[in-house]
Amino acid sequence: AQSVTQLGSHVSVSEGALVLLRCNYSSSVPPYLFWYVQYPNQGLQLLLKYTTGATLVKGINGFEAEFKKSETSFHLTKPSAHMSDAAEYFCAVSDGNNDMRFGAGTRLTVKP
């Protein structure tokens, strides 16, 4: 079975600082990897995904993530945090079919 570990349930950064949200996965098959963002009282919105090909994936709102097979990681980064980035972020791994597993989530706080 697949699984995802998100390191740090809460991350706090200052506005303009680097955002780094960590995600490690376990999968017995080549993984499909995703980052979703959830704003309060809303559903999940896809930020970016890795399926095949280029390992550095760019998403919406200036976020990007790099698939590192040797480290089984898919960390999410953004060079400069904005107040509007405050939300909860979920990493997910899929087998390409109906088995998608989510991490427990990381709540990002952005301080002015």
Partner 1 sequence: DAGITQSPRHKVTETGTPVTLRCHQTENHRYMYWYRQDPGHGLRLIHYSYGVKDTDKGEVSDGYSVSRSKTEDFLLTLESATSSQTSVYFCATRTGVNEQFFGPGTRLTVL
Binding site for partner 1 (CB under 8 A): 4, 9, 32, 34, 36, 41-46, 49, 51, 90, 94, 96, 98-100, 102-105
Of 17 and 88, which CB lies nearer to partner 1 in the complex structure? 88
Residue 18: C-alpha distances to residues 63, 64, 72, 78, 105 (Å)? 11, 12, 22, 6, 19
| Shortest CB 64 distance to partner 1, Å | 17
Token reading at 10: 């809460």
Residue 67: C-alpha distances to residues 32, 44, 110 (Å)? 10, 21, 25
**CA–CA dist 64, 75 (Å, integer):** 8
| Shortest CB 18 distance to partner 1, Å | 24
Of 17 and 49, which CB lies nearer to partner 1 in the complex structure? 49
Of 14 and 45, which CB lies nearer to partner 1 in the complex structure? 45
| Shortest CB 77 distance to partner 1, Å | 20
Token reading at 69: 């097979």
